[in-house]
Structure 1
């Protein structure tokens, strides 16, 4: 017969084991534990929101005065509360705010439009709430993209080739039932994205932003988290008693309650920025950009401040040290596969190179990417391709009279990142170079020539044509949209033709070789790059009077 003493020992042991199991489970789940309560819902959002066979409907239900206030103070990127009905399901007390870098400041300055991009965070005011498992949904306004589909097609390429990248779809946006336009819906690269791609693996995520203009990077994320921790029980701000914000000290030059003043960028053209002595005009990043260009600088963590400022997950000096250690070893060519997810980065490079996106690591701007680190190994995730296929004004390296179409179509595949040494180690390795070329060949022969591009192009057109035609806030007219789409189709086809020639050696594949022998280049002079949308936003280059669908510019006005 078992004595009470022995029974007590057994109970204690069982309880201790249970505690250990719970602790271990908590460690494994880590920051993703808040999603673990309903794991069967967790992965519903890829099919619920991002089944590209059907445009999703997003109806924002919000007091019109608060909506107008949010738009008037868009530069502050402050979250407001709303209800959102998505595909028939209503989510309560969802946080919404305008988002963006250049697109945000450009729309804020433009008296003729209030078409902002938006970020929806489902658990900001109601902790644990998700949208079918998605923590945050991005609604992009298609700024500077007359085609309304450049970014979608690039993300489709990433998906086709198997690179880790955000899911995408189109969304018909309404405010209190009134149609506001067709937007590109994207999976935010944050908690849900990491969980979908890496399970409960606890890696660290950064979004370096060398432009220093917000737009969803780490500083913005930390502000969101800080605001969340200050919420009252109903999701609003806590009670501060008799505190009056008007009693704050007078800040000389500041208007109480006004958004921060942005520099006047009217007429800004990246083509006028100083060019490096070698490589592509527009390539080469000024200084070290606080590490944003991913070049190894030294062992001092402070030298990489822009990376750390862009933290999405909460990180420490120990986490930062692993990143610097990886960058150092990559720069020295040491045990590359220990420090880089080589296969995924080669896929990233292939699609990025095909897309000719100078608003990124391959241009002046060391931004528009996510850096992921796990166990000392680095990876990259893509972001922001509305200016792909030559949309940055820095295309046209030969000056005002240069043939931008031909330059874009023939952009050299073996010197795509002239300003970032990070990629040189891979391209100097014959095995990795061959694999990179293999992925480029897959894009040209299977994606473009194999019919996937045409299928995607036709599908998107059939889905959004009518929505674009009736879009009351569109940056471009319907006729401009149709012309832009036709131009994009030709551009992708010619780009594939040039890449195939560069791969088989009939067309030079480096910048220097193309300068010495331009006769073999594909003629892209028929491609009007600016027709597809340009850095100037909703106005085609050389056509400042570009008008809306009804041939009357819609002025910025309050809803209702």
Structure 2
């Protein structure tokens, strides 16, 4: 009998141990495989062009085009490589690109597609949200593709991406770059964890401003499964800025690679540039990783041109180095500086020279050239496409292409009405004028970096960075060599401090409020507008007294994501958690600590109970 009890007890312990180990294997990282990564191999194939057909009611399409800056979702069906996804939500997306296209008579917007806002649990083989980027300001169509690829080769987490031939109701609309959103499927695929805090920078320098989360404008919470713990982010910023063991709070290797790749690719439409945007921060167990985003201005497309004499590898910032503590503080550490130099050496020798880019641009040319040649909404001519790969694009209007109808029409209208919709147009159509050819710039930058690494050229500039702190004139896009409206050009080396407080510069041409109006007053007004649900006469009068321009006021009223000043996170949706437009919640995150404690306590109680039952004899009672 005793042996039987021991055998039963042993079996109980074995079963409990198996359950505990199995649960820890599944939940130990704080995640369940909710999404999977089938979408990467099924759709994002680097040697093929994804076929995307947007099937949409004509009235809905026209409404979306006419109200593009409102970024309102409409319902459509999308067919991707023959697979039908019905009742998806689609809207125009972007900031400067959206406003610039809206200010022209082009309708080549970038688009965002949500798969599970209406149809619960519908995904694109695991993907909940897809971006279709319009290759704005890139005549080569290759800048963003190559940049993501080089980041990926360097071991940095990047979204899935591939080219997409986009059609609308069966008619070819244009060649786009399809890019995965930085949401739970991306986090699960790259980090094995969807329970951390996710932030997107709309314009934040990562300076430490104290312990109050409201003092960190320009950082939006993108975590949709739980409330973000701002104290973790603030602690990281405190240690970064004031000193301490930063590796406890920051993935330093990823940060150094982020700085190195952006520097080598001359991408200043990033944290390194005037706006301090286009990056995400993802937290796991208190440690933050920086993630690159929106790379279409790389390879000198963000007003840099081809003058490599302005590039200082140890001060790779537009404006003062001290204004970018992620760069300044990390590169002040000799160990990190040497690692950073090693990454620059790797990038320049392996990717910018040695035949890598030549082979990749040749491969991509073969892959996409037929789509570019017939692209009916192209921003540039086919000749500019070819020239921008190796030579220097002049950005002049074209006269020998099917798009002459579009481009000449735009130019004529711009000449007649240079401030259509409140956005000044002082350029020829074809954003990215004088953008250097990819191969030429890569060769020049590689040579300059190698000489700086060897000590043959200066790698610092007395803390002044690239000396481009004045930024670009209002109403102009990168690379246009514009000087701004008469009397409004800023003195060289000076930056409007309203761009330095973590907020992003308003879209091209939008007027700024008077200098005496602080961010707090503007954000307070924005909160009142959101609470009221509309622009009332009283609110308009209040804005007028503050001196807030009408175009800015209108944008504050219609903005879906607080693109002007950042925010504390997206508004709550119907489920009290995820807002419409970010995809439907599929599964709540798992609290691994609570689960482990629950399993442990339950297991102990069960084991003790069974042990008592097996090892102790029960009393028997007899009637007298």
The 1:196/1:483 distance shift into structure 2, 3 A limit, reads: same
Equivalents in 1 of 2:227, 2:37: separation in Å? 30
CA deviation string 1:441-470 (max 9, x = no partner): 111111232332222111111111111111
Alpha carbons 1:209, 1:310 under 8 Å: kept:
no
Instruction: Sort the Cα spacing of 1:123 and 1:23 in 2 relative to 1 into closer, same or farther, 3 A.
Output: farther
Change (3 A) 1:130 1:18: farther
- Separation in 2, partners of 1:160, 1:172: 25
Q: Which residue of 2 aligns with 1:278?
A: none
The aligned residue for residue 306 of structure 2 is 405
Deviation at 1:194, TM superposition (A): 0.3
The equivalent of 1:85 in structure 2 is: 79
- Matched ranges for 1:477-492 at <5 A: 477-486=381-390, 487-492=437-442
CA distance in 1, matches of 2:140, 2:480: 12
Secondary structure at 1:405's aligned position in 2? coil
Offset of 1:540 from its aligned partner? Answer: 6.0
Among 145, 148, 153, the alignment partner of 1:155 is 148
- Cα deviation per residue 1:23-81 (whole Å; 9 max; x = unaligned)? 9799657676643xxxxxx2212222222111111111111221111111211212222
Q: 1:293 aligns to what?
A: 205
Contact 2:113–2:130 (8 Å) recurs in 1: yes
Cross-structure match for 2:516: none
Tell me if the contact between 1:296 and 1:331 (Cα under 8 Å) persists in the aligned partners.
yes
1:313 to 220, 224, 229: 224
In structure 1, C-alpha distance between the alignment counterparts of 2:152 and 2:216, rounded to whole Å:
31
Of 127, 130, 138 in structure 2, the residue corresponding to residue 137 of structure 1 is: 130
Q: In the alignment, does 2:332 pair up with 1:431?
A: no
The TM-score normalised by the length of structure 2 is 0.62
- Cα distance 1:64–1:385, how it changes in 2: closer, same or farther (>3 A)? same
CA distance in 2, matches of 1:409, 1:95: 46
Counterpart CA distance in 2 for 1:378 and 1:88 is: 39
Q: Are 2:280 and 2:293, in contact at CA under 8 Å, matched by a contact in 1?
A: yes
Q: CA deviation at 1:117?
A: 0.1
Q: What is the 5 A alignment of 1:396-475?
A: 404-406=305-307, 408=308, 411-417=311-317, 418=321, 419-475=323-379
From 181, 198, 207, give the equivalent of 2:200.
207
d(CA) in 1 for partners of 2:225 and 2:127? 19
Q: 2:70 aligns with which of 70, 76, 95?
A: 76
Deviations 1:58-117 (A, max 9, x none): 11111122111111121121222211111121122222111001111111121x200000
How many residues were matched structurally?
A: 424
Counterparts of residues 29-68 of structure 1 (less than 5 Å): 34-35=34-35, 42-68=36-62
Describe the superposition over 1:353-381 as per-residue Cα deviations: whole angstroms up to 9, x where unpaired: 11222222212102111111221111110
Larger mean CA deviation between 353-362 and 55-64 belongs to 353-362
Aligned-partner Cα distance in 1 for 2:255–2:58: 45
What does residue 502 of structure 1 align with?
452
**Within-5 A mapping of 1:273-352:** 292-307=204-219, 309-313=220-224, 316=227, 319-352=229-262
For 2:18 and 2:438, the matched residues in 1 are separated by 60
Unaligned runs of 5+ in 2: 3-8, 391-436, 467-471, 483-624
Three-state SS of the structure 2 residue aligned to 1:455 is helix
Q: 1:539 to 1:454 in 2, by over 3 A?
A: closer
**Which of 151, 164, 179 does residue 172 from structure 2 map onto?**
179
CA 1:329–1:19: 2 relative to 1, 3 Å: same
Answer yes or no: is the 8 Å Cα contact 1:475–1:538 preserved in 2.
Answer: no
Measure how far apart 1:151 and its partner are: 1.2
Superposed CA offset, 1:190-213 (max 9, x none) = 111101101135211111213xxx
The answer to whether the 8 A contact 2:197-2:283 is kept is yes
Tell me the distance in 2 between the aligned counterparts of 1:206 and 1:513.
29
When residues 297 and 390 of structure 1 are mapped into structure 2, their CA distance, relative to the original with a 3 A threshold, is same
Instruction: Find out whether 1:123 has 2:23 as its counterpart.
Output: no
Hey, what's the Cα distance between the residues in 2 that align with 1:85 and 1:538?
Answer: 35
Shift of 1:320: 0.2
SS in 1 for 2:140: coil
| 1-structure distance, mates of 2:93, 2:236 | 32
Structure-1 separation of matches of 2:276 and 2:353: 32
CA radius of gyration, larger in: 2
Deviation of 1:515 (Å): 10
CA separation of 1:493 and 1:467: change in aligned 2, threshold 3 A? same
Quote the residue 1:94 is aligned against.
88
CA distance in 1, matches of 2:69, 2:194: 35
What is the match of residue 358 of structure 1?
A: 268
2:301 aligned partner: 391
Q: Give me the TM-score of the superposition, normalised by structure 1.
A: 0.69
